[in-house]
Amino acid sequence: MNQGSLASFHEYITTDKCRTILALCGAGLSASSGLPTFRGSGGLWKNYSSMDLATPDAFNVDPGLVWQFYSYRRYKAIQAKPNNGHYALSQLSKVAASKGKKFLTLTQNVDGLSRRAHHDPEQLLELHGSLFTLKCTSFDCTYTENNNFKHPLTPQLQGCEEEWINPRKRQRRTENENENENENEDGKDAVISTTGSPEFTPVKEIPRSGLPTCPQCKTGLLRPGVVWFGESLPFKVLDQADQFIMSQKVDLILVIGTSQSVWPAAGYVNRVKLQGGKVAIFNTDEEDLEGCDGWKFLGDAAELLPQALKPLIGDITEVVENDKE
Ligand code: BV8
């Protein structure tokens, strides 16, 4: 981390010129918790583009396919653990007021890891919903259930845990594209398709009766409580974010692990800049640091955030230790 910029960042966040801080988080924040981003190979599930599956149309056409996709992501998110990036923001939400600061985290992530890092829920807005919220899809039923971590949600959704028939082969394949070993960890022949590429676990034909059904109206299909492309963000969440941005000048926005490619979430950065607020970007990709006239922190958010926020949150290793789930 460039010490010069770290020192000037520390200098700024410890002054009362920086009273109001907003954080905008993306998939990169959860990357070192082992969850795929939407970029690159992470943007694919089996051969499907995640963004194509994250649409109302895809769910209407094939709810079984879309539920297998979300069952897989729920499973991965349940297996994952919050990382030091989540804990650093969580700690800031706990100490901000005592430091005379106002703080709010806007996360685009639906993995629930910020909540599991005990981020103060009053200072956390899940812009795109959560994998662990379920909603009824029938027109006249308003059933919604939060914090549902049951896996699998139905017997037919068992077996969606792995994307590949032989995940380790994929791992090795990505590491050494040219390697053509055909033995897996327990010595049995690896499942290599005739094309030589590792094979996906098959997508099952799941009848509607085998999918999560509403316990209230007994007929409606349940859907994941996430915001799909083409759908509006929850008005309540949009209002709370607007409240925060309009009730006082935001002095600093932390832009963490996001490609700033999805709207309206990406728009918050410019709104803060228009208020004269400063920007600090945390990203592993030089390209996504470009155009930033503030602080550019190149690297893993899980490593950078604890260091960058240290003057306010102290050393979080102890917090993390005590919080081992
Ligand atoms: C809407 C939930 C209207 C589902 C998600 C204006 C211009 C252009 C297009 C639009 C526009 N306005 C609206 C649109 C359309 C669309 C949109 O933005 N399309 C994009 C693709 C161009 N927006 C919408 O459809 C929105 N709805 O506009 O509704 C409306 C209004 C009223 C009434 C009716 C309708 C809804 C958008 C929300 C969609 N849902 N998620 C699910 O997850 O399944 S979006 C989803 O993708 C994520 O939540 C996230 O927002 C986005 C992925 O972006 P990132 O999180 O940034 O992840 P990405 O992989 O791209 O990048 C990762 C970054 O991390 C990279 O920079 C990488 O370098 C970095 N990184 C990696 N590792 C690390 C790291 N950084 C630090 N440390 C590391 N270790």
pLDDT digits over 218-247, tens only? 999 999 999 999 999 999 999 999 999 999
Rounded to 5 degrees, what angle do the CA atoms 233, 235, 239 make?
Answer: 115
31 and 137, same domain (yes or no): no
286 and 142, same domain (yes or no): no
Determine the Cα–Cα distance for residues 192 and 157; give it in Å rounded to an integer.
25
Determine the Cα–Cα distance for residues 166 and 168; give it in Å rounded to an integer.
6
Bind-site residues for Zn(2+): 136, 141, 214, 217
Query: Taking 90 as the threshold, does the pLDDT of residue 185 lie above it?
Result: no
Are the C-beta atoms of residues 56 and 135 closer than 8 Å to each other? no
Torsion of CA 27, 30, 35, 38, to 10 degrees: 10
Question: Is residue 177 one of the residues assigned to a domain?
Answer: no
**Residue with CA closest to ligand 1 atom 6:** 263
Determine the Cα–Cα distance for residues 23 and 254; give it in Å rounded to an integer.
4
Question: Is residue 58 one of the residues assigned to a domain?
Answer: yes
Q: Work out the pLDDT band at 303, boundaries 50, 70, 90.
A: very high
- What does the pLDDT average to over 136-160? 96
CATH assignment of the domain containing 288: 3.40.50.1220
- What does the pLDDT average to over 143-150? 98
Q: Which residues are catalytic?
A: 128
| Domain encompassing residue 99 | 1-35+83-128+233-324
Query: Taking 60 as the threshold, does the pLDDT of residue 180 lie above it?
Result: no
- For residue 219, list its beta bridge partners: none
Question: Which residues does ligand 1 sit against, CB inside 6 Å?
Answer: 26-28, 31-32, 37-39, 42, 54, 108, 110, 128, 226-232, 257-259, 261-263, 265, 282-285, 288, 300-301
69 and 159, same domain (yes or no): yes
Q: Work out the pLDDT band at 196, boundaries 50, 70, 90.
A: low
Determine the Cα–Cα distance for residues 238 and 191; give it in Å rounded to an integer.
47
Structure tokens of 169? 């082969």
Produce one character per residue of 35-44: b if its CB has 16 or more CB atoms within 10 Å, e if not. bbbbeeeeeb
16 and 148, same domain (yes or no): no
Bind-site residues: 26-45, 70, 73, 108-111, 136, 141, 214, 217, 257-259, 283-285, 301
Residue spans of alpha helices (H) in the chain:
3-13, 50-53, 56-61, 63-79, 84-95, 113-116, 167-175, 235-247, 267-274, 301-308, 310-313, 317-322
pTM over 0.85: yes
Q: Work out the pLDDT band at 217, boundaries 50, 70, 90.
A: very high
pLDDT digits (tens, 9 = 90+) for 50-97: 889 999 999 999 999 999 999 999 999 999 999 999 999 999 999 999
Determine the Cα–Cα distance for residues 250 and 308; give it in Å rounded to an integer.
18
- What does the pLDDT average to over 181-196? 49
